[in-house]
Structure 1
Amino acid sequence: MWLQAVLWPLLRLYMCGIKVLIYQMFNRSFTLPVLPKQNGRVAIVTGGTRGMGFETARHLASIGMHVIIAGNEKEEGAVAVEKINEGGKGKAEFIYLDLTSLKSTRQFVHTFKSKALPLHVLVNNAGTMMVPEKTTEDGFEFHFCLNYLGHFLLTNLLLDLLKRSGRQGGCSRIINMSSATHYAGVVHLDDLNRRKLYSSHGAYAQSKVALVLFTYYLQEQLTTGGFNVTVTAVDPGMVDTALYDNLWALARALKKPVAKILFRSPAEGASISVYAAAASEMEGVGGCYLYNGEKKQSSDLSYDSDLQAVLWKKSCQLVGLQAT
């Protein structure tokens, strides 16, 4: 039981990491094409105060978007906004959001909607990785809530605005930050909080495959409804950010020299989110998994339409939304 629940997820996760590092050893990071100006468009970037989130927010602001940085560190948010707005190079503002709290997520949406702005881009970037077992104030497993369920609620609460803001030739775009670790992910529908035998590796992988399942199901609903909104899952590769601070001591020690040579920089990792959010080539393109600038096949599990539907229904129940 322990072998299956704890050791096996760990081995699968590290095998995914090794495959990504081998790829990055022999392949250059994706280079962004020239992007069209985005004047008049509004974006929200979760986790936008540092790392890939900040680089995404900075780049989107530099091409004309009004960027709302959503994060749970007010001081970091103020610094990020100051850097982006310095010298009139961009337009950014910060709104507090704690994705591990359903109440905070609803309050963020209320605050944003009170500004009477449109919404053209939502980048669900915030995340955590391999934290010790703990639950949120609402009783959810931490990875599941921060990486997936909080973003599920946020997206659904903003969906009406994204639908109204999208138009033919100018779709609204939702970008979900997944990871190669989703290939190791298994969704435990009877134990989404993973309380039976906790594995931080398994919990992290589950949250990332849940995001891909969510991406495909939501895109299908939007397409069927005829709405001008696209949903894309993106994989930034292995990027040198604070996400790896929770690795085991030995893994952290081994990671340092490898990261200098093989890991992507935060700006390189952010390029795929920026591409999905603003590139002309991605206009009207959704329901796909992007890695290093190309559409890739995601895990077999992620295409299970029955699992997509059941996860959607369960997620709605967990956050208090009516399933559609």
Structure 2
Amino acid sequence: MLSAIRCYLLPIIKLYLLALKVLLVQLLSRPFRLPVMPRQDGKVAIVTGGGRGIGYEVVRHMARLGAHVIIGGRDEQEGLAAVRRICEEYKEAKVEFTKLDLASLQSVRQFVQSFKERDLPLNILLNNAGVMLLPEGRTEDGFEQHFGVNYLGHFLLTWLLLDTLKDSGKCGYFSRVVNVSSSAHRIGEIRLNDLNSCQSYSAHAAYCHSKLAQLWFSSHLHQELQCGGFPLSSCAVDPGMVDTALYRHLWTPLCLAQSTIARLLFRTPAEGATTVLFAALSPALEGGECGGGYWVNGHREMTTPPSFDPQLQLSLWETSVQLLGLQ
């Protein structure tokens, strides 16, 4: 009984203490201001979860710079509304919506097939969509929801689009994979024998584990691309604590307080999008040597020591390939 309580309460305490620390640092530091980015005419980007929040601001900015942006999202009504708003603001915007449910591997495969049939290049893949603190449940394919949506769905999406990303990059104009992670990865723990949190479930722990998995994937992918000499880089970004719908599953009293606190203390979605955009567009990150890493508030930052362990990253990669039936 005590062990079960500890497994449930400890992740909650650790996550909220970390959140308090992150919020204090955020309040004491100046938000990163995005430098003027070059035009993106002719480039194609896919942004998951681009119908609202940080993703919407990223799509909006890319469209203003001339990129052809495809929003991949589960909510068709929300996605189409986002497209309309952006096209009303920028008459020449090239923005569209395609259905993508990261909780369904079939949906991911259909999305990629539909995209590849158009024979478009792909210069930027922005893995932004995510879920947080969901009650215990499973995806369509039987995976724990945080692991399935935040990590495994994006892993499959990236894997299936790798050839197109590689073919679209060239020296001086690398393609880029940008994974929107979180400082929550610092208290995450990857248990390869229990990736679906069957032994004990905590929504707080599951979220942290998924963000650590996402970071490991991003790092290992970048190393593989560098070793292969491909014109493609991969990095992870922490947008900070941002006033979005991601926090809607907090315990009800906290959720009510959060809505007020967020408006006063959290960053706006536009502010949260700045480092994401920097990682996706900045010429300063061009090439394998300059790209990669983990970015916070416009700067590369060190992550927790286990994140640097190549063997752990490789083990998760190989396990993911097996779970998805890839070769």
- TM interval, short-chain normalised: over 0.9
Partner of 2:303: 298
Q: Deviations over 1:282-309 (max 9, x none)?
A: 2123220000000000111211111100
Q: Give 1:207's aligned residue.
A: 210
Partner secondary structure for residue 70 of structure 2 = strand
Paired position in structure 2 for 1:13: 15
Structure 2 counterpart of 1:188, from 191, 198, 209 = 191
**2:121 aligned residue:** 118
Percent same amino acid among aligned pairs? 51
Residue from 25, 35, 49 that aligns with 1:47: 49
For residue 27 of structure 2, what is the aligned residue in structure 1? Answer: 25
| Alpha-carbon distance in 1 for matches of 2:81, 2:254 | 31
Aligned residues: 322
Q: Find 2:244's aligned residue among 229, 241, 244.
A: 241
Q: Which amino acid aligns with 2:295?
A: L
Q: CA RMSD in A?
A: 1.0
Corresponding position of 1:82:
84
**Cα separation, 2, equivalents of 1:321 and 1:12:** 35
User: Does 2:149 align with 1:146?
Assistant: yes
Gaps of at least 5 residues in structure 1 are none
1:177 counterpart = 2:180: yes
Note the alpha carbon deviations across 1:37-62, whole angstroms, 9 max, x for none.
Answer: 01110000000111111111111111
Runs of 4+, deviation exceeding 4 Å: none
Contact in 2 for aligned 1:234/1:289 (Cα 8 Å): yes
Report the Cα distance in structure 2 between the residues aligned to 1:249 and 1:8, rounded to whole angstroms.
Answer: 19
Deviation at 1:151, TM superposition (A): 0.2
1:32-111 maps to which residues of 2 (within 5 A)? Answer: 32-86=34-88, 87-111=90-114
> Separation in 2 of the partners of 1:118 and 1:97?
19
Looking at structure 2, the residues matched to 287 and 280 of structure 1 have their Cα atoms a distance apart, in angstroms, of 13
Secondary structure in 2 matching 1:234? strand
Q: What is the SS of the residue equivalent to 2:248?
A: helix
Structure 2: gaps (5+ residues): none
**Which residue identity lines up with residue 217 of structure 1 in the other structure?**
H
User: Residue 229 of structure 1 corresponds to which residue in structure 2?
Assistant: 232
- Partners of 2:186 and 2:106 in 1: how far apart? 31
How big is the shift at 1:217?
0.5
Mapped contact 1:84–1:91 kept (Cα < 8 A) = no
TM-score (norm 1): 0.97
> Equivalents in 1 of 2:68, 2:190: separation in Å?
36
